[in-house]
Amino acid sequence: MPAEFGEADIPLAFYPQCPICGQTGSTYRSLGIHYKTDHPEFYAQSRRLNGQFKRITLAFVLIALGLSRLIFIGLTRLLILGWGAIMLGWFAYFLLFWQPKLDDLSDKSNDEWRNNSRPSTLDQTVQAASSRKANSIVCPICKLGPYRLGLGIRYHNRIHHMEYFKWYRGWSLLMEKISILTVLVFLGLFSTGLLDPLASSGFAPLILVVPAFSLAVVFATNRSKKQRESRIEWIQNHPH
């Protein structure tokens, strides 16, 4: 094992971790070296995806800079609308396209890795004595674990609770789409001036807090409901 994969005192949830074999690196750079050596195909494909990400980000920045000319002709409201739309477009690309694509790529590589009987530490449970237990979670469905937050619990769900995993992916994507649309509606309302009376009143902070809070509550409530259902189903399929 190369020296750069030593266990540094970083909270594990923020650890750069290989989504294929579970190897943890002390930095994202060291993890890059690991991909290059141990998962060359994943390395090449994720590099292509990241290259596209950089080009698209640059394009958005250039358009935003171009739009800033509007300020010189006094069209501030239009400028804010344009910048808002660009930021939303970037978030939409990041959340609805780039992230799912990278996840698919990681999952595919992980499946190939396991199909070749190579070991993966992604499903390793966190030891009770470990100080890193705070960054771990017991599986809400089968109560096994605790698994590492992030890649660990994600991997466990993908392999052992496939139905729940697929549901959760779809649900997160839907909520992300709704959030983006909500902001888009507000942006539209702002540009028409319809929100002005509210924005200049004492209720201004509520304009954003209330929808954000409502969305978060809907997201969490429905997720707990689905977890309870999956838990009941799991118990029925695994009688003691």
Tell whether residue 102 is a contact of Zn ion (CB under 5 A): no
Tell whether residue 159 is a contact of Zn ion (CB under 5 A): no
Beta strands 147-148 and 136-137 are antiparallel
Binding segment for Zn ion among 21-29, 50-58, 175-183, 188-196 (CB under 5 A)? 21-29
Contacts of 113 (CB under 8 A, 6+ apart): 20, 21, 39, 120
Token pair listed for 75: 């069209």
Q: How far is the CB of 91 from Zn ion (least distance, A)?
A: 29
For the chain, how big is the Rg over CA atoms in Å? 22
In the complex with Zn ion, which residue's Cβ is closer, 18 or 149?
A: 18
Q: Which of 12, 15, 17, 21 touches Zn ion by CB under 5 A?
A: 21
Tell whether residue 187 is a contact of Zn ion (CB under 5 A): no
Tell whether residue 151 is a contact of Zn ion (CB under 5 A): no
Q: How far is the CB of 53 from Zn ion (least distance, A)?
A: 21
In the complex with Zn ion, which residue's Cβ is closer, 82 or 146?
A: 146
Tell whether residue 20 is a contact of Zn ion (CB under 5 A): yes
In the complex with Zn ion, which residue's Cβ is closer, 12 or 21?
A: 21
Q: How far is the CB of 207 from Zn ion (least distance, A)?
A: 40
- Cis preceding-peptide flag for 2 (omega within 30 of 0): no
Q: How far is the CB of 117 from Zn ion (least distance, A)?
A: 15
Chain-centroid distance, C-alpha 44: 22
Q: What are phi and psi of 125, to 5 degrees?
A: -85, 155
Helices (H), the chain: 28-38, 40-67, 76-93, 99-115, 151-160, 162-192, 196-199, 204-237
In the complex with Zn ion, which residue's Cβ is closer, 23 or 106?
A: 23
Contacts of 87 (CB under 8 A, 6+ apart): 60
Q: Residues 104-143 vs Zn ion: string with x where CB under 5 A?
A: -----------------------------------x-xx-
Distance between CA atoms of 126 and 104, rounded to whole angstroms? 25
Q: Which of 12, 15, 17, 18 touches Zn ion by CB under 5 A?
A: 18
Q: How far is the CB of 17 from Zn ion (least distance, A)?
A: 9
In the complex with Zn ion, which residue's Cβ is closer, 20 or 85?
A: 20
Q: How far is the CB of 166 from Zn ion (least distance, A)?
A: 15
Distance between CA atoms of 237 and 240, rounded to whole angstroms? 10
Distance between CA atoms of 10 and 113, rounded to whole angstroms? 27
The footprint of Zn ion (CB under 5 A) covers: 18, 20-21, 23, 139, 141-142
